[in-house]
Amino acid sequence: MAKSRLTLKAMLCTAVAFLMAAMWSQPASAWTWARSVTVYNGSGLCVRGDAGIDHLRPGVLSGNLAYATVYALAGGCGTGMSGRGAVQAVVYKWNGSAWAVCRSSDWKYGPTGRTGGQFPGPYGPEQVFNWGGAAACGPGYYGTRASAWVWDGSRWRGGGVWSGYEYVSSAGLSSRQGSAPGHAPARSSQPSAVRPPVHAG
């Protein structure tokens, strides 16, 4: 009896695992992300950023969200270090020949550092905002450029991270139409040249 319960429990766990794997697997076009891209690497400071874009798709865990994060690391891109960072997410739409700005977040300023514990790693300010999907700028190819910057005590250091692109239709489905873009948008914006605000966060 105990052996049959154990076998039944194992079969049930396997079935749940397969069900979860099927539910959580999505096509790559539903979520496009670039993680830990080095945008500056100086003698005492390394700046990395993340950029991502997602669009709402029926029946799939998704949302019309753009993502941007900045991290400050020690020179050589080692461990996370304390500092001040600034990040902005800009959503672009391909118009057939160039990238055009669709929507943009405000700049977000905040501390950078390193967490410990069970999930150690660098942290910094991040942006997650609802860019509106196809309702914002129409169906087409979209991508996010994250502007990821860290204050080194005298000036901002950093640059842009391109998420890559994905096709967004008005129905939320990823049926591609038109010519796909061949390059990333132009250079990213930079925070103001003045020292970051102390109260930012």
pLDDT tens for 133-143 read: 888 899 999 99
Question: Which residues of the chain are modeled with pLDDT < 50?
Answer: 13, 16-29, 195, 198-201
Domain-located, residue 163: yes
The answer to whether residue 100 sits within a structural domain is yes
pLDDT of 22: 41
Give this prediction's pTM.
0.74
Give the chain's domain count.
Answer: 1
Kindly state whether residue 43 falls inside one of the protein's structural domains. Answer: yes
Asked, for residue 128, whether it belongs to a domain, the answer is: yes
Give the per-residue pLDDT at 201: 40
Task: Name the residue range of residue 75's domain.
Answer: 26-168
Residue 151, domain member (yes or no)? yes
CA dihedral 136, 138, 143, 145 (to 10 degrees): -40
Whether 20 is covered by a domain: the verdict is no
CA-based torsion, 19, 21, 23, 27: positive or negative = negative
pLDDT for 27 equals 43
Please write the tens of the pLDDT for every residue from 60-82: 666 889 999 999 999 889 889 99
pLDDT recorded at residue 133: 87
Whether residue 32 is contained in a domain is answered as: yes
Contact 168, 63 (CB under 8 A): no
Q: Is residue 3 one of the residues assigned to a domain?
A: no
Q: What pLDDT sits at residue 20? A: 44
